[in-house]
Structure 1
Amino acid sequence: MAEATNTDSPGRGGRGARDRILASAAELFYVEGINATGVDLIASRADVSKRTLYKYFPSKAALVEQYLAFVREMVTDPRAADADGPRERLMLLFEVPEPGEGRMRGCPFHNAAVEAAAVMPEVADFVQLQKQAFAAAIIELCREYGATDPDLLGHQIALLYEGAAALSTSLNDPQAWAYARITVEALLDQSRAD
């Protein structure tokens, strides 16, 4: 009598498959890029079949959306940051990252917007909503800080954040964050009528 064999390895399919797929996609999309990462590679890294991947994520666009939702949950709302006041919470956005071993990759939402612009409009819509919510949170902190024009200041700070993320990625150099930090400090100093 032939011995029964298990066609799935212990990690394949089954429990945790969705989480493994999402974790693998998150790492690969962020490091390698969305367009450069195929579902075959994600399935292989997650130790699942493509059929299992498509069971949980019916399209690559659906997987990208879930990846961005996963990232959004991990990104702390600047209003909830562990700091004493609104100024300190805003400044936490501009901590200068330590240079790592790999390339700087910047904002995952910006990266997704650029890569998905023409081929995944639903992803572009998701990113737009995320960026609007982020700017609104910064504006609210500026209002709490007592800025005379919190809308203007909030948009300036959001622009500096986006610029630092993009420039540090393009140059693979964290120095852009240091320059942005100095500028934000100056804007905050000038923003209140004393």
Structure 2
Amino acid sequence: MGTAKETTQRRGRGARERILAAADRLFAHQGITATGMEQVAEEAPVSKRTLYAHFRAKSDLVLAHLQALATSGKTLEGVLTLEELSPRERILRLFDQPTADGTSVRGCPFIDAAAEFPDPQNPIHAYAREQKLLMVRLVTALVAELGCAQPEALAEQLVTLADGAASRAMVLNQADYGRHARAAAQTLLEHALRRGELTGPAGR
């Protein structure tokens, strides 16, 4: 039998939020495919009936999990919309790697999800791809705002650095690994800004 607290939680409101929070913790620590629905229900805690009332299939839960991450502001893409930061600082924040629990480096959950569901036609893979395409569009807009030359090409270079750094930081479990890519990004930005000045109205 569960504790009184667990019983109250199972019967109380906010079950969907608890399910998503539990899924986030479990997916971050052990991966999506290794996490079963029963484990999510136990972690939430909710009954399996409640779990399936909110999410009819595991794929529905995974998509909701990714959508919640996308709107949380805690992903690589999230920092690009922080209006309190300058465009340059938003770009450089891409190289600060979030941790899953204060100790484990999470990396990019969209890359992780796409790797676990490699079929490009899978809705989970497709959603991850949408987020990575959004990422490059946001960076393109920021570098264009800075006045950099060839913003589309530069944005692709910067997001490639960011995604690569996030993946290596996760594999090596080094939260500060992004400093290497950050230094490269700064060089790319400075070079593009100089070229922008040369090819601007005064230099044409």
After the TM superposition, which parts of structure 1 deviate over 4 Å for at least 4 consecutive aligned residues?
96-101
- 101 and 91 in structure 1: CA distance in 2 versus 1, 3 angstrom threshold: closer
Match for 2:40: what amino acid?
I
The answer to whether the 8 Å contact 1:107/1:166 transfers is: yes
Match for 2:25: what amino acid?
E
The answer to whether the 8 Å contact 1:77/1:134 transfers is: no
Q: Distance in 2 between matches of 1:102 and 1:176?
A: 14
Q: Deviations over 1:157-185 (max 9, x none)?
A: 00000000011111222343010010000
Q: Give the superposition deviation at 1:54.
A: 0.6
Relative contact order higher in (CA < 8 Å, ≥ 6 apart):
1
Matched, 1:124 2:125: yes
- 54 and 98 in structure 1: CA distance in 2 versus 1, 3 angstrom threshold: closer
For residue 69 of structure 1, the aligned residue among 67, 70, 77 is 67
Q: Distance in 2 between matches of 1:81 and 1:36?
A: 37
Q: Give the superposition deviation at 1:15.
A: 1.1
The answer to whether the 8 Å contact 1:116/1:123 transfers is: yes
Q: Deviations over 1:129-166 (max 9, x none)?
A: 11101110001101101111000110000000000001
| TM-score, normalization by structure 2 | 0.84
For residue 42 of structure 2, the aligned residue among 44, 58, 64 is 44
Q: Distance in 2 between matches of 1:93 and 1:151?
A: 17
The answer to whether the 8 Å contact 1:25/1:42 transfers is: yes
1:3 aligned partner: none
Secondary structure in structure 1 of the residue aligned to 2:95: coil
Identity %: 35
The answer to whether the 8 Å contact 2:94/2:162 transfers is: yes
- 119 and 14 in structure 1: CA distance in 2 versus 1, 3 angstrom threshold: farther
Q: Distance in 2 between matches of 1:56 and 1:99?
A: 25
For residue 82 of structure 2, the aligned residue among 54, 72, 80 is 80
Q: Distance in 1 between matches of 2:154 and 2:40?
A: 41
Secondary structure in structure 1 of the residue aligned to 2:8: coil
Match for 1:82: what amino acid?
E
- 120 and 103 in structure 1: CA distance in 2 versus 1, 3 angstrom threshold: farther
Q: Which ranges in structure 1 are unaligned for 5 or more consecutive residues?
A: 1-5
Matched, 1:32 2:34: no
Q: Distance in 2 between matches of 1:29 and 1:53?
A: 16
Q: Deviations over 1:56-88 (max 9, x none)?
A: 0000000000000000011225043421x3212
The answer to whether the 8 Å contact 1:96/1:178 transfers is: no
For residue 53 of structure 2, the aligned residue among 28, 52, 55 is 55
- 169 and 96 in structure 1: CA distance in 2 versus 1, 3 angstrom threshold: closer
Q: Distance in 2 between matches of 1:45 and 1:100?
A: 16
Number of matched pairs: 187
1:146 aligned partner: 147
Match for 1:37: what amino acid?
T
Match for 2:147: what amino acid?
G
Q: Distance in 2 between matches of 1:119 and 1:134?
A: 18
Q: Give the superposition deviation at 1:16.
A: 1.0
Greater Cα offset, 30-39 or 57-66? 30-39
RMSD: 2.3
For residue 10 of structure 2, the aligned residue among 9, 12, 18 is 12
Q: Give the superposition deviation at 1:92.
A: 1.9
